[in-house]
């Protein structure tokens, strides 16, 4: 038995920046390379903007300027400016800040005095400047260490705080910013702070009507069953409508923070809508029928909110304030009164809502028998042995920290699935093997998901039959060959997910795996190339006698080589559904009647990032 020494020398104290850099996940969640919306580089931006938003909420500053260029982020607000004698403390001394004084920041986003310090510690360069009452001061840091401190000087600039930082590539390997993720974040800030103007790289983000504007951009106007219901009260704002899409779609916020994982406020909102609708129509509808195809948003302001993680994605607070009403009671009382009043005053909306609920009830009852038979077939098919090579750790495991990504690769053919299976990390990577090209589901109902064995098994593997709340993998990756057939399979799978499980796309879980097209090597070096330009550059570097291999399919890449392309060198292109995009229009173009123009488009655009950019779905990379 090996004995480990345990002496005074084993006891070590870390200063604040060392601890943040050693355990960044504790402060900003998962690191990532920028391909996912919750990757750390976006959390860094959010932490700085949150401070600007808090100033705006307190009544100071109506404009925020943001610029990102060459991985350098600059954020400037026009609030009061950090007190000049306390700039160092606010950005480099843990558990220090104005937000501990609840009088100054009563319903602030950040309360722990950590956010800006984490940005400082995790940046290779960090600069902060405060302008306050005709004076200014600048401090510059490198990985949390003070490098330069200017003397206090006179300034004619407007009051406010400016921060510039570059995320450290020692922490964030090969990262890149995806503008669509940042813009979604900025729109949310604008919706939640009516009257605030945010300027980002030449674009303006402004909202006059809050959550009404949010839903107007998020919902497909062609599918809305009635005009958006928009209700506001003290410390609460809600908006909702019903559409024709599958599933439920919600956007929830606390103190301006987008709680992507919901929490007590969202649970209360969903319950309150069901209860109010039942009472109004005097009928005990099934909750699933009331909420089917709903799209809603809720924003609340809570004193001293308790979140379940430092990244504040899920509210855990039970009360609106330490001595205030329960969150559930507060939201239920508001919805019960306000929504009931609205439905009484707008009978045409109430009638449209009732028709949508009755339609959902009819569809659910028709599907019950089909689901039962399909589930029996799935059980007989022995899912985990026949189609799925599962991993050991899942997204929904209680012991799995959310920053530990689990991935399901969806591929076609024995050779491709064989290479993936042999090369994968069995802890966190699973492989689902399709048998031939999947069915084109465009225009079909969800009944087909249960009747088609491939799709039924796939939804069971993902555990999304009743929504994505219990999704077993936080990354669902389409892995197909880079040829015409591979492109077609991608489009068929995208049609399936967009039509029946759009939340999977909206919540940033769907990706395309990019693998090399060429291998260029000589006796000393091997270079993998993802396009023709990279191949030409590699040939010039390695000389005339180099060997060039064209990978026609995933199965041609050996498991030994494949390992690096799904681990340290993985390239994932997120599938992004842009705001205001009509899913029906996208699918009609790509998967509707077989037109010559669509066929030619697919052939000419074998790289996914080109083929949907102009039509609402972007694979950014």
> For the chain, what is the largest distance between any 2 Cα atoms, rounded to a whole number of angstroms?
81
| Averaged confidence pLDDT in the chain | 85
**If you average pLDDT over residues 536-550, what whole number do you get?**
92
Residues 6+ apart with CB under 8 A from 157: 131, 136
Q: Is the dihedral of CA 211, 113, 74, 571 positive or negative?
A: negative
What angle do the packed helices 264-281 and 327-345 form, to 10 degrees?
A: 40
Q: What is the pLDDT of residue 226?
A: 96
Residues 6+ apart with CB under 8 A from 579: 184, 187, 217, 218
Look at strands 617-619 and 160-167 and give their pairing: unpaired
Topology at the third CATH level for domain 16-206: Heat Shock Protein 90 (3.30.565)
Nearest to 498 by CA among 486, 488, 489, 510: 510
Nearest to 49 by CA among 319, 258, 234: 258
Confidence of residue 225 (pLDDT cuts 50, 70, 90): very high
Q: Specify the range with the lowest mean pLDDT, choosing from 63-67, 224-228, 554-558.
A: 554-558
Q: What is the pLDDT of residue 620?
A: 42
Instruction: Return the residue matching tokens 């697919």.
Output: 602
Q: Is the dihedral of CA 34, 39, 40, 42 positive or negative?
A: positive
Q: What is the separation of C-alpha 333 from the centre of its chain, rounded to a whole number of angstroms?
A: 31
Topology at the third CATH level for domain 386-515+551-619: Rossmann fold (3.40.50)
Confidence of residue 583 (pLDDT cuts 50, 70, 90): confident
Instruction: Return the residue matching tokens 């024709």.
Output: 244
Instruction: Give, in order, the Cα–Cα distances in Å from 135 to each of 78, 92, 218, 490.
Output: 14, 21, 43, 58
Tokens matching residue 157: 């600039």
Reduced to 3 states (helix: H, G, I; strand: E, B; else coil), residue 487 is helix
Three-state SS sequence of 291-340: HCCEEEEEEECCCCCCECCCCCCCECCCECCCCCCEHHHHHHHHHHHHHH
The whole-angstrom separation of Cα 357 and Cα 274 is: 11
Q: What is the pLDDT of residue 563?
A: 87
pTM (global) more than 0.75: yes
The whole-angstrom separation of Cα 548 and Cα 546 is: 7
Q: What is the pLDDT of residue 285?
A: 96
Confidence of residue 601 (pLDDT cuts 50, 70, 90): low
The whole-angstrom separation of Cα 81 and Cα 84 is: 8
Q: What is the pLDDT of residues 457-511, one digit of tens each?
A: 899 899 998 888 889 998 999 999 878 888 889 889 999 998 899 889 888 899 9
How many Cβ atoms sit within 10 Å of the Cβ of residue 420? 29
Strands (E), 32-144: 63-69, 72-77, 123-132, 135-142
Three-state SS sequence of 353-391: HHHHHHHHHHHHHHHHHHHHHHHHHHHHCCHHHHCEECC
Instruction: Return the residue matching tokens 């808090």.
Output: 54
Tokens matching residue 297: 């948003």
Position 436 pLDDT exceeds 80? yes
Nearest to 613 by CA among 575, 582, 583, 580: 575
Q: What is the pLDDT of residue 106?
A: 54
Q: What is the pLDDT of residue 619?
A: 46
Position 367 pLDDT exceeds 80? yes
Tokens matching residue 12: 């070590």
**Which residue ranges make up each domain of the chain?**
16-206, 211-365, 386-515+551-619
Nearest to 233 by CA among 294, 188, 277, 298: 298
Instruction: Give, in order, the Cα–Cα distances in Å from 505 to each of 36, 90, 468, 492.
Output: 11, 38, 10, 15
**Percentages of the chain per state (helix, strand, coil), in multiples of 5:** 40, 20, 40
Instruction: Give, in order, the Cα–Cα distances in Å from 435 to each of 387, 484, 601.
Output: 9, 17, 26
CATH of domain 211-365: 3.30.230.10
CB 209 within 8 A of CB 239: no
Confidence of residue 11 (pLDDT cuts 50, 70, 90): very low
Q: What is the pLDDT of residue 609?
A: 39
Q: Specify the range with the lowest mean pLDDT, choosing from 98-102, 230-234, 252-256, 514-518.
A: 98-102
């Amino acid at each position: 038995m090996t004995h480990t020494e345990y002496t005074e020398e084993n006891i070590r104290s870390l200063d604040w920046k060392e601890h943040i850099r050693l355990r960044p996940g504790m402060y900003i969640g998962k690191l990532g390379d920028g391909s996912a919306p919750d990757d750390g580089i976006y959390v860094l931006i959010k932490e700085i903007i949150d401070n600007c938003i808090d100033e705006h909420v307190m009544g100071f500053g109506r404009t925020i300027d943001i610029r990102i260029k060459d991985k350098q982020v600059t954020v400037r607000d026009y609030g009061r400016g950090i007190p000049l004698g306390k700039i160092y403390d606010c950005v480099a001394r843990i558990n220090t800040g104005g937000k501990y004084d609840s009088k100054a920041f009563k319903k602030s986003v950040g309360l722990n005095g950590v956010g800006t310090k984490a940005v400082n510690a995790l940046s290779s360069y960090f600069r902060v400047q405060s302008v306050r009452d005709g004076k200014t001061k600048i401090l510059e840091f490198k990985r949390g260490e003070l490098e330069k401190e200017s003397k206090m000087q006179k300034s004619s600039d407007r009051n406010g705080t400016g921060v510039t930082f570059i995320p450290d590539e020692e922490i964030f390997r090969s990262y890149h910013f995806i503008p669509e993720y940042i813009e979604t974040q900025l729109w949310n800030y604008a919706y939640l702070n009516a009257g605030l103007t945010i300027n980002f790289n030449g674009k303006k983000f402004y909202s006059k009507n809050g959550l009404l504007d949010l839903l107007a951009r998020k919902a497909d106007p062609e599918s809305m069953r009635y005009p958006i219901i928009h209700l506001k009260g003290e410390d609460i704002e809600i908006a909702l409508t019903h559409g024709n899409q599958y599933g439920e779609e919600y956007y929830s916020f606390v103190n301006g923070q987008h709680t992507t994982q919901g929490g007590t406020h969202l649970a209360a909102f969903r319950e309150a809508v069901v209860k109010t609708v039942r009472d109004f129509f005097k009928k005990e509808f099934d909750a699933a029928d009331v909420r089917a195809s709903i799209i809603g948003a809720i924003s609340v302001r809570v004193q001293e909110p308790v979140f379940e993680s430092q990244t504040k994605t899920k509210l855990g607070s039970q009360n609106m304030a330490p001595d205030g009403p329960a969150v559930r009671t507060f939201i239920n009382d508001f919805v019960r009164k306000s929504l009931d009043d609205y439905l009484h005053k707008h009978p045409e909306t109430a009638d449209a809502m009732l028709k949508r609920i009755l339609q959902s009830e009819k569809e659910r009852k028709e599907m019950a028998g089909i689901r039962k038979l399909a589930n029996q077939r799935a059980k007989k098919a022995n899912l985990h042995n026949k189609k799925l090579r599962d991993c050991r750790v899942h997204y929904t495991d209680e012991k799995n920290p959310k920053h530990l990504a689990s991935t399901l690769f969806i591929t076609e053919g024995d050779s491709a699935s064989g290479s993936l299976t042999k090369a994968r990390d069995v802890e966190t990577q699973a492989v689902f093997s399709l048998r031939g090209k999947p069915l084109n589901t465009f225009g079909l109902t969800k009944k087909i998901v249960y009747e088609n064995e491939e799709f039924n098994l796939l939804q069971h593997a993902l555990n999304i039959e009743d929504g994505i709340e219990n999704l077993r993998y936080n990354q669902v990756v389409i892995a197909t060959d880079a040829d015409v057939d591979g492109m077609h399979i991608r489009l068929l799978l995208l049609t399936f997910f967009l039509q029946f499980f759009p939340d999977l796309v909206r919540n940033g879980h769907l990706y395309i795996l990019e693998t090399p097209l060429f291998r260029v090597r000589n006796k000393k070096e091997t270079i993998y190339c993802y396009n023709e330009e990279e191949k030409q550059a590699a040939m010039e570097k390695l000389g005339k006698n180099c060997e060039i291999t064209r990978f026609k399919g995933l199965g041609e890449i050996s498991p030994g080589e494949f390992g690096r392309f799904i681990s340290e060198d993985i390239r994932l292109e997120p599938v992004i559904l842009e705001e205001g995009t009509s899913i029906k229009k996208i699918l009609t173009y790509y998967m509707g009647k077989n037109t010559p123009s669509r066929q030619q488009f697919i052939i000419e655009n074998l790289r996914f990032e080109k083929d949907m950019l102009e039509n609402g779905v972007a694979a950014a990379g």
